[in-house]
Amino acid sequence: MSKTTPVIKEDFSISWKRLMLQGLIIMLLGMSIALFSVTNSEAVILSARTFSWLPISGFFLLLLGIQECFEAFFAKESRELHQNLQVGLLDAVVGGLIVLSISGEPQRLSLMIAAFLIVRGSVRISLAQALKLPHATSLSVCGLASIILGVLVYLEWPVNEGWFLSLCLNIEIAFRGWAILMFSFWVKNKKEQQA
């Protein structure tokens, strides 16, 4: 008896150009808000005095979660549906809780943000290694950085203020844009190999 491995035929109908544009926009917005969090840490957004840019981060994360859930419903394979839906729901719930919590203190969100950063970093590392993406090392480094940021938020080091929470969250969002950008290159390469 000969052992045969099943051949998985992927459908790369997704536009790598759209993915590239989406990744660039997410990365640039994440980097911009992270920069604003540091340079204008006393900003008052939505009348939340000590939250810095955290409400904007929450809105952006909520929108990313809704977009991910929307993509899940149009997925062609069940694994894409489950993966996108899980990630999208996590983003939407965390983003929504941040937005709904602006009447309190930002420090009470630190445990949730720390857990979110650790989970997102772990998922990024796992997917980069499992899919054997061409830039898996850089994606794994970004995932590791998200995990480290999550640990720093958990340890409240160097501070536990709204600007630092916003900075860490937006660095993760920028890493997500980078990951989407790298995925677009992977899709482009796979399409070229199939042609």
CA–CA distance, 93 with 166 (Å, rounded to integer)? 16
Please give the structure tokens belonging to residue 24.
């660039």
94 found inside a domain: yes
1 found inside a domain: no
179 found inside a domain: yes
11 found inside a domain: no
Beta pairing partners, 45: 48
pLDDT tens digit string along 162-182? Answer: 999 999 999 999 999 998 898
CA–CA distance, 169 with 149 (Å, rounded to integer)? 9
102 found inside a domain: yes
Q: Is the pLDDT of residue 87 over 50?
A: yes
Beta pairing partners, 131: none
Number of domains in the chain: 1
Structure-model confidence comparison of residues 3 and 178, the more confident one: 178
5 found inside a domain: no
Domain of 177, in residue numbers? 16-190
8 found inside a domain: no
3 found inside a domain: no
